[in-house]
Amino acid sequence: MKQPTITVIIGGNTYSLCADDIESIRNLPDSDRQQLISLLKAVNQQVPLTTAPANKAADRADTSPDTTTGTLAGDAPDYESTKPERLGGGDVDALMAQLIHEEKSKQNPGLTRQTIYKFAIWFAVIVILLILVL
């Protein structure tokens, strides 16, 4: 599978790099290569920090709701632990999908054919009883 080409500007010089294209990586000057490596290390260190809030939110959403109080089972939510880091774009989408799924599962189903038939039968029975009584 071909890797995407990434365009990077380092110190005013523009480089188009691809993981499959070893020649373009070899052509990088040593100083620019070292700056790119330090940047990638910093990005790699931030990955666990950006996925942690989404994982916490997903774990909290997976816990069973307490039907008597309408809150999640356990202690009150810890808002301070979820504020420091920002969620990434994909994390927000996954969290919103999880919340939408939970909300839909809590909703009552709409009218079905079975309920319409029940109402029609009860209506007919009441009308027939009223006709017989009057």
pLDDT of residue 16: 86
**Residue 102 phi/psi, 5° resolution?**
-65, -40
Residue ranges of alpha helices (H) inside 63-134 are 79-82, 89-106, 113-133
Residue type, 91: D
Assess if residue 103 is contained within a domain: yes
Q: How many residues does the chain have?
A: 134
pLDDT by residue for the chain (134 residues), tens digit each? 677 888 888 888 888 888 888 888 888 888 888 888 888 888 888 877 666 666 666 666 555 454 444 445 455 555 455 444 555 666 778 888 888 888 888 887 778 899 999 999 999 999 999 999 98
- Kindly state whether residue 1 falls inside one of the protein's structural domains: no
Identify the domain containing residue 32 by its residue range: 6-133
- Cα dihedral 25/48/60/63 (nearest 10): 80
State phi, psi for 80 to the nearest 5 degrees: -65, -35
Sign of CA dihedral 74, 79, 84, 87: positive
| pLDDT on residue 57 | 63
- The C-alpha atoms of residue 74 and residue 66 are separated, in whole angstroms, by 9
- Residue 89 confidence (pLDDT): 61
Q: How many domains does the chain have?
A: 1
User: Tokens 């994982």 sit at which residue?
Assistant: 55
The Cα–Cα gap between 74 and 44 comes to: 34
